Structures are given as structure tokens and as C-alpha cells.
Structure 1
Amino acid sequence: MIRFGVLGSGYRASLYFRIAKALPEQFEICMVLCHSEESACRVKEKFDFPVTCKDEDMINSKPDFVVSAVTKTLMCDTVEKWLNIGIPVLSETPVSLDNGRLFQVWENIKNNNYTCNKLQVAEQYAFYPTYDARIQIVKSGLIGESVSMTISCMHDYHAVSIIREFLDTGINDVNVIGKAYQMKVTDTKTRYETLTKGDVVSKEEKHLIMEYDNEKTAFYDFMSDQYRSDIRNRFINVRGTRGEITDNMVYFLKDNNVAASEKMDVYKDEETGEILAVSFRGRKLYIPPFGICGLGEDETAAARVLAGMKKYVDGGEEVYPLRYALEDAYTANLMTTAAGNSWQPQKSQNRPWK
């Protein structure tokens, strides 16, 4: 049993609420710390978890770790506060989008300056069943050495984490160039409702080229509406020296250098959206690690992060190395700067975790 507390009660915190409800034998939320009595009552009424507005109640619940799911502006202060209280922290992404704070967190962890120095970041995309399966195919060498990719699936630091997995960029220096555009699109959905008025609005769309020092290149294309829009697709292409992956299709050379292609098969529960299995060339690349429970890809991936955090707290390896998490946030800052300075290159500089 993994016992954890949640700091926050908003949209992102609800992801962890759903996991605990779907998998009560594996995950227990021992306390939710809310910023107001109103939000505490809302969480209690909807999910029936123990709730409080007092730090001492969270401390006395004795969680294995806490998940910090507060706003980005409060994240770094909250993370440091709870590390200094002495409780391991799994921080929602990112820990901070201020480079100075990122440097500060690294130096404090490196020098054991916190009461507890067990910090991880909840970057879940590499644990999505379909992305995980594609990563396995790339790392098998079937398409040779990966050399470039086009990514239009997720934004900023999330995209950087996936680029690392596919292109093995590690903490190589990167040069970012590109531009942000305002594009018109019909509004179809928010986080909470479907929109049918047909209103045409402007959304930001970033087009960036990311050139890494290991001679790998990523082409980033993402619209701010893309996560929720019913009329904007999400896609990925990874090119290697002996083939490429485009979404669920894999193109490759056989041992005799004759070209072939096969589909990565994804089996999904149409009612719940849960991925039941992913297979390729007769081999299962993914089966539900917690059993069939009705969770979608985002919740499944976050549950795997929670399980990894527990292993880390108990003395195991990092689930998502902190230096990568800080590097991804740092690179996201470069992306923002590059997008706002049309086609002016932004090169990574010295950072303490490199």
C-alpha cells in the first residue's frame, strides 16, 4: 500500500484523487491539504478523503510522501517548505519556471540543505502506455539510431522529456529557434465542458526547432488548445537511420535491408478509454501494471509515477532523475524566450546540474 498526501485540491490534484478511488488496494490518500474550508468541503463531499486546512494534520497523517499539486506560482515555495518539514515531495511539473529557483533547488539538494532531500517531479508522459511502447521500439534498435523527430503532442517541459527519451539527448546543450503565432480556431472544449456555439478565437501556436549538441534535432509544433480541442490532432514522428515511427505505424529495414512496415496495435476499452494492451510484431509491449481498473492514459501514467516515487523513497532509483526535471524546465524557458523573439537563436548556458 502506498500512502500519500496531496497538497492542493484543484484540477491537477483531482488526477490523484481519481487514481486513489480506482485503485484503493494500491494507493491511499491519507490527507488532502486545502487552502480553504470551502475547497476542503468540496473534496470531502465528492471524494470522501480525509481533508484539512492545517499543516499539522498532514504531518500527523504520516504519509510516505506528499504530492504538491498547487499552482505553478506557489510550487517552489511549497516544495521547499515540505522538504524542510522533513517529508519527501513529489512535485507536479515544473518545480519552478524561474531559472534562479531551479539552480537554488539543485544546490540545496546537492548539499543536503533541506531537512529531507527526497524530491522528484511527476513527469508522466514517458509512462503513457502508447508512448512507452514507442520508446521501447526505438530503444530496441529496430529503426537504427534515432536522429530527429517532429512532436505535436504535449507542451514545453513535457515535450522536452519525451524528446530525451526518443533522441537520447541527456543533458546535451541545445540551440532553440522559432516563433509563436496567433492562429484562429473554433472553440470546442474547455477542461470542464463541451462548447457548441462555434466561436472562432485566437490561440497561440509555437513552431520551434531544437538542435542538440549530440547532432539530434526536434521539430516542435504545438497549439495551446491542442490538449482539449476536438478538431486538433496530436501526432508524433521519430526518424532513425533504418526507419521511422509515425504515430502507430513503424517503418523499418529487415536484416536483409528490405523495407517493411507494421502497425503497433493498441487495444482500448472504448467506454472508459483505458489501454488494455499494446503489442508489436506479436510481443506485448504494455499490459496494465495495476490490472484493469478503468483509468485513462494520464491517470495510468501518473499512477506509475506514484509507484516509482514510493520505490525511490524506500531507497530505490529515481523515477525521473531530478537533474532531468530541472533541465526540462530550464529548456522550457529557452523555448518561451525563443518563441517570443522571432527566429533569434537561444542557446543553453551553464547550469549547475550539467
Structure 2
Amino acid sequence: MSDPAASGAPTAAAASAVPAALAVPAVPAVPAVPAAPVTFGIVGRGWRADFFARLAALLPERLTLVGAAVRRADAAEEVARRWSVPAYLSPAELIAKQHPDFVVVCVPWPATPEITAALVGDGVRVLAETPPAPDADGLRALWARVGGREMVQVAEQYLLLPGHAARRELVRRGVIGQPTSVQVSSTHGYHAVSMIRGLLGAGFGPVRVTASQFTAPLLDPLNRDGWTGEETPKDAVTTLATFDFGDGRSGLYDFTDNQWHNRLRLRRILVRGSLGELADDTVVRWGGPRTVLRSTIVRSQLGHDLNLDGHDTEHLSFDGDVVWHNPFAGLRLMDEEIAIATLLTATADWARDAGPAPYPLAEACQDHLVSLAVDQAAATGSGVVTEVEPWGSV
């Protein structure tokens, strides 16, 4: 561990100046290998469900996928072949036959609340895909049915991506002092809100949201399926929104249609604090009397040039101190897979009461509530103020 004074990082006294109410929680640690693999099932069979099945197969000492549930017989046959597990025509049958430690729910938004509530009613812990319900009334109804049981986590992984996890750790350590503002131009809706709230350590209080939308031409050469063949720009909508969380904390949301896949739009993240700011991988901060320091987050990437250890991410460091280490080194995972595997193993640990809740339903409800306020503000042109909801008053 490097000397904070020598590196220009805030002293213990400076770090302790961050109010407890604004403290940024630590990124969940990957649990130790359990004595026996944690078992889970999947409801659904889409693109995201494949991530969970594939990662579990790479982590047999930690996880065992014991079955899947889908609605149609032909889909069940296809899933059984693809994942090499038994497939059933209902979640109830999956639970009755396999008794998994938890179930991942990967179904369309309108179906998620009902399936989640039914599983909780049967005493099964759930990892539900985002969002947990389509709209604000659905969030409230789901919370009324299952919120008090504390049996639901939600599959929000963005702050677990290596770069974001390293940034979050620097904020948690107080490197830039008290976090006051976060700007995100990377992903959409509740994902971006989760990043902003998570980096600020924002709670469940009222949020004032303003939003505007602008249409301009943009070439769209890539989507989830690969190169589109497009060579002519078409209209794309950019949404800009601001968040006022109170206590001097704010957020800026900037998203353009298909920004996830379109490489013609760079991803940007800025975290401002009382002692400096973090912009992507560059950090400026107060280093003492008449001293402002600039440092970078450095990724150690294996497999380049004459490194023969295989193409893999090793760690991310800051001023010679490792701030994130790849818990799945050797599996050659891309960042998104590392984040999902981190969430999945943390959920497995939680399912056996051996670790904390990685992303509870209350946090997911709040993130989606604020995201819905962005949509409303953009559609009406008027500011929206969210209220304190039942999940924020427990």
C-alpha cells in the first residue's frame, strides 16, 4: 500500500471529512469458493439469460445451473440442448424438481413482477433482470408484495465493470474528497442512474429531474448483432437530463440512441468532488499546500506484445496501488462478463446467507423511479420531483 501523504492522496483526516450520509459504499467483494457449488435456475432464455448460463459453466466450483423454465415446449427443447440442463414449462415446476438456492428471472418487463413475486411466495430467492417492474405503479405494487421479505436482488452490473469499480473505489477512499457531482454519457436509463447514485452515495430522498431531447443525424454502423452496413447518417435522439439530489449533489445524464454499440460516440464519465475530480481515467486532486496533483488509472492488460500469459485483464492501479483486481483472471472474460460474474457470485453468496446483498430491490426501484422521471420530464418539458417511496422509508 502506498503512503497517502507521499502519493498526494487525502490524509486520513481529509478522508474522514466526507459525511457518513454521503459515503460511497464499497464494491461487493467476490466471495470465497463455497464448500459446495451454489445452485440456481433461470426463467427465460434470451440474450441476457445466455450470459448467466455461460458464466456459470466457467465457474463450476462456485455455481451450478440446475434447470431452466420457459413457456413453450419447443423453447424448452432448445434451451435444454443449448445449456445442457433440464427445462420446464413453468417456474413452479423448476422449483419443485430442482430446489435451487436462487433463481434468475430474465423475462420481458411486464412479466418480471409477477414471476418474481410468485417465486418469493414459494420461499425462493430471486435475482431479477432490470428493471424489476415497467412503471412506477408496478414498482410500488411489487414492493408491497415482496419488499419486506428481502429476498430479491436485481441484476444491475454497471458499477462492477472494472473501470467503474476502480473509479468507485477511488471515490470511496476520498481521493477527490466529498463526491458532489457525477456526469455519465455511456448507457441509458436506470443503468446510468445507478452509476450516478452509486458514485454519489445518494439515498432515497426526493430528486428534482429536468430533461430535454434533441434530434440530429448520426451514422449507426453497429448494433448488438454486429455491423449494420449503414453508410448514411439517420436521425438519432439525444436525451440530456439533470438530477438535483439535494445537499449540493447533482447528476448529468447524456445518452444518444444506440450509444451502447455505436463506436462513433465515446463513453464519458466525470465525478467531481470537494478536493478534485475524476474524468474517465484521469484524476486531479489537492495534494497539500500549493499543490495540485494529476494521476491516471492504469489498466494492466496481459497478452500484448511479448507477454505470453494470455489476453486478459490483470488489475487496475492508481499511483502504484492496485484499486481493482480481476477475480476471474485466467477465464479471458470481457469487462461486461467480469461484471456479471461478480454480481452472480455475490448473489450466490447472499443466497446462502454468506455475504451482503449486492444490489437490493430497494436500490433498483429507486434507480428506475428516477429513470422514469427522466422520460416524463423529456416528454412534458417540465421538471419532475420524485417523492420518498415506501422502499425508501424502511
**Which residue does the alignment assign to 1:349?**
387
Determine helix, strand or coil for the equivalent of 1:166: helix
CA gap of 1:198–1:44, structure 2 versus 1, over 3 A, is farther
Unpaired runs of 5+ in structure 1? none
Opposite residue 42 of structure 2, the aligned amino acid is: V
Give 1:273 shift. 7.4
Please say if 1:338 is aligned against 2:377: yes
Opposite residue 141 of structure 1, the aligned amino acid is: G
For residue 28 of structure 1, the aligned residue among 64, 70, 80 is 64
Please say if 1:99 is aligned against 2:136: yes
TM-score, normalising length from structure 2? Answer: 0.83
Please say if 1:131 is aligned against 2:164: yes
CA gap of 1:146–1:74, structure 2 versus 1, over 3 A, is same
**Which residue does the alignment assign to 2:183?**
150
Tell me if the contact between 1:22 and 1:295 (Cα under 8 Å) persists in the aligned partners.
no
For residue 334 of structure 2, the aligned residue among 296, 309, 314 is 296
The range that moved more, 182-191 or 2-11, is: 182-191
Tell me if the contact between 1:32 and 1:51 (Cα under 8 Å) persists in the aligned partners.
yes
**Which residue does the alignment assign to 1:38?**
74
**Which residue does the alignment assign to 1:167?**
200
Opposite residue 98 of structure 1, the aligned amino acid is: D
- Inter-partner Cα distance in structure 2 for 1:111 and 1:150: 33
Tell me if the contact between 1:184 and 1:200 (Cα under 8 Å) persists in the aligned partners.
yes
**Which residue does the alignment assign to 2:362?**
323
CA gap of 1:66–1:225, structure 2 versus 1, over 3 A, is same
CA displacement 1:79-120 (0-9 Å, x = unmatched):
1122123211110111113212211222233555xxxx5111
**Which residue does the alignment assign to 1:86?**
123
Tell me if the contact between 2:147 and 2:361 (Cα under 8 Å) persists in the aligned partners.
no
Instruction: Indicate the percent of aligned positions where both proteins have the same amino acid.
Output: 27
Tell me if the contact between 1:206 and 1:221 (Cα under 8 Å) persists in the aligned partners.
yes
- Inter-partner Cα distance in structure 2 for 1:200 and 1:22: 40
**Which residue does the alignment assign to 1:194?**
227
For residue 280 of structure 1, the aligned residue among 305, 318, 327 is 318
**Aligned-residue RMSD, C-alpha:** 2.0
- Inter-partner Cα distance in structure 1 for 2:312 and 2:104: 24
CA gap of 1:43–1:206, structure 2 versus 1, over 3 A, is same
**Which residue does the alignment assign to 2:348?**
310
TM-score, normalising length from structure 1? Answer: 0.92
Please say if 1:237 is aligned against 2:276: no
Give 1:176 shift. 0.5
Opposite residue 46 of structure 1, the aligned amino acid is: R
Determine helix, strand or coil for the equivalent of 2:142: helix
Tell me if the contact between 1:129 and 1:297 (Cα under 8 Å) persists in the aligned partners.
yes
Tell me if the contact between 1:276 and 1:292 (Cα under 8 Å) persists in the aligned partners.
no
Determine helix, strand or coil for the equivalent of 1:317: coil
Opposite residue 374 of structure 2, the aligned amino acid is: M
Opposite residue 260 of structure 2, the aligned amino acid is: Y
